Chain A
Amino acid sequence: MLRFEDLKIPNIEPINLTIEPGECVGLSGESGSGKTRLLRAIADMDEHGGQVYAEDIAQDQVKAHEWRRRVMLLPAESQWWFDTVDQHFSTQAKYIETLGFGQDVMCWNVSRCSSGEKQRLSILRMLSHCPRVLLLDEPTANLDSSNIARVEDLIGNYLSNHNAVAIWVSHDASQLGRVSHQQYHLSDGQLKQVSEA
């Protein structure tokens, strides 16, 4: 489903990897090891070597914005540029209650949202585009434990219902154990599979 062929990023050895439909890959590594740069290369936000395929479509085969609609990156810190939440949604938002909001959340003023609320809203915003690949950069870093569980459930269900794929970056090893089907660790420029504990 998602396949890397000699994906090259500065200071990281070429990456070859295939992720099957419905799978979530956990990715850990120290700050500065290149996790975010890897996600940005997959979303084609930075220059890189090698090739990435999503559902057998190569990255450079489609326009960049079309690629990013399929392969969507959720940055660690979400950005909002209009006043109210709903202005950032082009389609009807789904899963609003699943993430613990009421329907009125769409009228909220973004500047009044807490960082945790923004993080959950950015997940809703991403899913409203129905991406095939989710690149999640510490998606629960600002959340309390009940909301962490909600996000983990939602993403898990989304992947299995849509046969989509995710790469989940987290510093929390127990979280990666819960959400991912296989785990990788990035250090000293090498991506290594973490053996089952």
Chain B
Amino acid sequence: MKTELIVLTAPDLMLASLLVLALIGLGVRLGLGISRTLTVAAIRTTVQLLLVGLILETVFSQAKLSWIMLIVLVMMTVAAWEILARQKRKIKGWWGFGVSAFSLFISSFLITLLALFIVIEADPWYTPQYAIPLLGMLLGNTMNGIALGMDRLVQTAWQQRAVIEQRLMLGQKDSEAIGEIKRDSMRAGMIPIINAMAAAGVVSLPGMMTGQILAGSPPVEAVKYQILIMFLVTSGTGFAVITVLQLITRRMFDSRERLRFDRLLKEPG
């Protein structure tokens, strides 16, 4: 049984937007202070997605490697920037950008390549219908994990700097003094994806799988893709969070095992 793709019309979207408008109206009435942010976000999502739709249509019809690489570059830069923007304690400029870009490169770019070459084996390997959504999904998820793990590490270490220094004064190694905080941060970075795996299919139907089913794929085919994505995202997030935690703790302590937030943060104290 293959169902036809039901095309959404502009009135369909208008109807959905009325719901958001109603929510904004209610927010204003009750003075909840959420309406402005909500309006901006709703407009952003509409404009951004429409634009990306247009771009993807062009790219899909051309399938030129140079175009695809350009899009990949833009996606990764924005993701790296978003990670830094999520940090409560701002990490020093280029170094912070370098760390998040490098971890995204390992977690998303390399793993997407691996999947394209070894698992999917599309022809050519950079077939944009596979490459771009795959990378996008990996970036979106690993970005979350990296941002959460990084924020937890820097934030907790900052709050507990007196404890860390006390442990150093008692002759503990720097790795020992930050050990618990590092384990906590690893967990914080991995919780979203672990939750997603645990709840998949029972509590929630993952977005990609739902999309494929709506587009008429047989459910079992959609499920196979979803499992592939889950494993890719999990390993990508895990490797990325580990990379980030290692790089940041190395930066946080100098060669004499001193706590050095002045090397890490824009405004240390």
Contacts and interface: CB of A to CB of B under 8 A. Distances in A.
A79 B257 contact: no
B90 interface: no
Contact of A65 (B163, B165, B166, B171): B171
A126 interface: yes
Interface string A50-68: 0000000000100111101
Interface stretch (A16-24, A41-49, A100-108, A153-161): A41-49
Interface string A152-181: 000000000000000000000000000000
Nearest to A44: B256
Contacts, number: 55
A68 B258 contact: no
A60 B180 CA distance: 28
B160 A43 contact: no
A3 B212 CA distance: 74
Given A68-B168, A125-B170, A81 B257 contact: no
A113 to B, nearest CB: 15
Given A45-B165, A81-B160, A129 B258 contact: no
A78 B166 CA distance: 7
A68 B170 contact: yes
B168 A79 contact: no
A150 interface: no
A72 B258 CA distance: 14
B17 interface: no
Query: Which size bracket describes the interface of A in this complex?
Result: 20 to 34
Interface string B237-269: 000000000000000001111100000000000
A72 B170 contact: yes
A18 B166 CA distance: 26
B120 interface: no
Contact of A79 (B166, B173, B180, B256): B166
Interface in B139-189: 160, 162-163, 165-174, 180
Contacts of B169: 43, 45, 68, 72-75
A69 interface: yes
Nearest to B253: A64
A77 B258 contact: no
A35 to B, nearest CB: 16
Given A69-B171, A81-B160, A64 B258 contact: yes
B167 A81 contact: yes
Contacts of A80: 163
Central interface residue in A43, A81, A125, A129, by most chain B CB within 10 Å: A81
Contacts of B171: 65-66, 68-69, 72, 129
6 contacts: A60-B256, A65-B171, A68-B170, A72-B171, A77-B162, A126-B170
Interface of B: 160, 162-163, 165-174, 180, 254-258
